[in-house]
Structure 1
Amino acid sequence: MNKYKPAIILGMLLLIFWEALARFINAMYILPSPSAIVLKIWQLKEPLFMVHLPATLLVTIMGIFIAVLLGVLLAILMSINDKIQNALYPLVIATQTIPITALAPLFVLWFGYGIWSKVVVTVLITFFPITISFYDGLRSTKREMEELLLTYGATKKQLFFKLKIPSALPSFFTALKMSIPLSLIGAAIGEWLGAQSGLGYFSKRMMTQLDGAGVFAPIVILSLLAIVLVFVVNIIENKVINWRNEI
């Protein structure tokens, strides 16, 4: 717990500064205070936590799951063959040059106001860091280790699963922790542009009512959710890559 003390202290100082600044400006529709946001969350806890949070969480989990499958598959294909890498790598990069806010309305037209339009936006945002990081991790295997295992008679399959995959796991988990906040942003963007539920949809609805605290309430929940999910992934990483602590 002691290692989180600096973050807790800094967070409390920022909240105090925010509260003081909001009270000084005294315009809640522009800059609501943290106390007003907490009060709004409490007042609207039932729709926020029982309706909109589960909707956003479902989109996020589905988006991350598909992004991991797609990213890992593309990374493995690119690591196997240089021609595949030369063909796919520019396309993977090109997907990140397309403004998501321009495509999201099209996804709503194509897939409707259901869950899949939001999932597609989330996947498009999150699969890139997973693909690139895992690909770089697969390529980071030391040549000497490969030659040593080949000398001992290891097959290409054994080389891949016993050496390359473990070597790429730290990069994979780093990318996953980067992708979680991005997936929440993607889900919120999709909900903002076209949805019937979700924290992004709720924030947009509060904006039309000029309710500053209501706009910030789902944003705070999204931030806390990102922290919790990254913390969970960090625990899983320490369990899976337990050999790193022994080096």
Structure 2
Amino acid sequence: MPTVRQLLQYKANGKQIVALTAWDFAIAQILDTAGVDLILVGDSLAMVTLGYENTLPLTLDEIIHHAKAVKRGVKNALIVVDLPFLSYQTSTEVAIASAGRILKETGAQAVKLEGGHPTMVATIARLVEIGIPVMGHIGLTPQSVHQLGYRQQGQTEIDRDRLLASAVELERAGAFSIVLEHIPADLATSISQKISIPTIGIGAGTGCDGQVLVTADLLGLTLRQPPFAKAYVNLQKIITQAVQDYSNDVKSATDNR
């Protein structure tokens, strides 16, 4: 099983980190058997599994429920769980309580928090200080959808400098890794070269130390495919056809009685 410390060694050795999201036992078991290094119980489950318009309505109880199911299906991969919107932003004490619940109740090894501003850096430093491993997340941060939208971040020099500085500060705070979402590839490469902790890219080019995708996007299960997400199979089509075939068999058997 990869550990937080081993992921740092992956970067030192130039070994790419393979990460995907999971939301239930069955998907987690498949990803783990396939040899994925890191499984993220992401707040994308708000849309993929629960049908919300964005990630904001997801609750701490809901993500804990799904993370427990994921943990039952995993024997090898490192499990990281997103802290949902408003389960960590209001105060360091709230963040500690939320992150502590996740680790205690799910058996996951780490949590992920969005943002690189000074308040978030201080929160991460405190979590790490008390023994909670934290993955950072900068660039496009879905929990800030009403501020940022879903457009690519880091397009101006000011924004590029800000993201690079945030990555440095997150490393100093003790984050063991940082997700870089939907930023220019050259900026992601620069950040990856500047810091010693692994970067995990999603729509950030190949210059990162690993890649993550929402598994539902990879499998072609989502109706709204992000522009940077490659579908490796169209399960929507396959499942629809299977259900139609089953339905036809049932109707045919009934007609022949």
Normalization by structure 1: what TM-score?
Answer: 0.26
More helix by share: 1
Greater C-alpha radius of gyration? 1
More strand by share: 2
